[in-house]
Amino acid sequence: MITIKTKTDIEKMAEAGKIVAAALEKAAEVVRPGISTAELDAAVEKVITSHGATPSFKGYHGFPACCCISPNEVVVHGIPSRRNILREGDIVSVDVGACYKGYHGDAARTFAVGNVSDKARKLMDVTRECFFRGAAMAVAGNRIGDIGHAVQTLAEENGFGVVRDLVGHGVGRALHEAPDVPNFGNPGHGVRLVRNMVIAIEPMITAGGYAVNFDRRDGWTCRTNDKSLSAHYENTVVVTDNGPVYLTLEA
Ligand code: MG
């Protein structure tokens, strides 16, 4: 069921969103060569709990950490670990959810660890731009396919792959609500967007093919089949008559 939010719902979601943004700003500050993904996770969790919020992902279907931290060919759902040390030239995606007063915010960024290759930089830049192209379609009266089409067009124009097996989603009192928000699709198709729907738009873009697999041992880590780099950029967005309102962009 798609829940349309009230003004009060959205005010509360904006508070959750600001906490998520603050947590990601902290992540940007502390990412550096030599830090473990567990240390990065702990820094983010501290920001969330210090605001009186709880990490949305911790315990979600048994996920063992605060953030999903996904280096290089890991697309999403990487599990933070003390043994996973970030190195110069890596890219790393950090996906953060926070629940505050019963409402969730959800966002992700991909960071460069030190200096990265031109190709990695381009992948990160295009993935971010894919988000904004898609989000620009978050206007009441448009359809879900308009968002996916905008994301897919820019990604593929740049020779990148669009992950199919994972998609964006509605957000509210639950972390994942209807509708699905794919990063591919046909304009004019799919669920009609209504004023005050809140959705997480989250392009997952690869420097190679779009096929992915899930780690058989941990059941979570999602990697590109061809080991190509992958980037992720996400915000929680309110659909309005005049376009997107971003809840997780700034603390
Ligand atoms: Mg999400």
Answer whether 43's CB lies under 8 Å from 50's CB.
no
Q: How far apart are CA 70 and CA 166, in angstroms?
A: 14
- Span 141-158, mean pLDDT? 98
- Mean pLDDT confidence for 181-191: 98
pLDDT category at 53 given cuts 50, 70, 90 is very high
**Is the pLDDT at 150 greater than 90, yes or no?**
yes
Per-residue pLDDT, averaged over 190-210, amounts to 98
- Sorted by where each starts, the structural domains of the chain and their CATH numbers stand as 7-246 (3.90.230.10)
Please say if the pLDDT value at position 201 is more than 90.
yes
pLDDT value at position 225? 98
Between the CA of 88 and the centroid of ligand 1 the distance, in Å, is 27
**Spacing, Cα 200 to ligand 1 middle (Å):** 6
> Taking residues 205-231, what's their average pLDDT?
98
Spatial separation of the C-alpha atoms in residues 115 and 118, rounded to whole Å: 9
Give 235 Cα–ligand 1 centroid separation in angstroms.
Answer: 8
What mean pLDDT comes out for the span 139-165?
Answer: 98
CB atoms within 10 A of CB 218: 12
Distance 107 CA to ligand 1 centre (A): 6
Give percent of the chain above pLDDT 70.
100
Question: In this predicted model, what pLDDT tens digit does every residue of 104-132 receive, in sequence order?
Answer: 999 999 999 999 999 999 999 999 999 99
Tell me the mean pLDDT in the region 209-221: 98
Listed in sequence order, the residues at least 6 apart from 205 whose beta carbon sits closer than 8 Å to its beta carbon are 123, 126, 127, 130, 155, 160, 161, 162, 163, 183, 230, 231, 232
Does pTM surpass 0.85?
yes
Alpha-carbon span 196 to 138, nearest angstrom: 10
Closest CA to 72 of 123, 9, 145: 123
Mean pLDDT of 185-210: 98
Round to whole Å and give the CA distance between 71 and 37. 9
Q: Is 123 left (phi over 0), alpha (psi -120 to 50) or beta?
A: alpha
Between the CA of 234 and the centroid of ligand 1 the distance, in Å, is: 7
Residue 1, pLDDT score: 86
Distance 166 CA to ligand 1 centre (A): 9
Using the predicted structure, report yes or no on whether residue 210 has a pLDDT greater than 90.
yes
Distance 242 CA to ligand 1 centre (A): 23
pLDDT value, residue 79: 98
Q: From ligand 1's centre to the CA of 55, what distance in Å?
A: 13
- The amino acid sitting at 90 is D
Would you say 106 and 199 are in contact if contact means Cβ atoms under 8 Å apart?
no
Q: List beta partners, residue 109.
A: 94
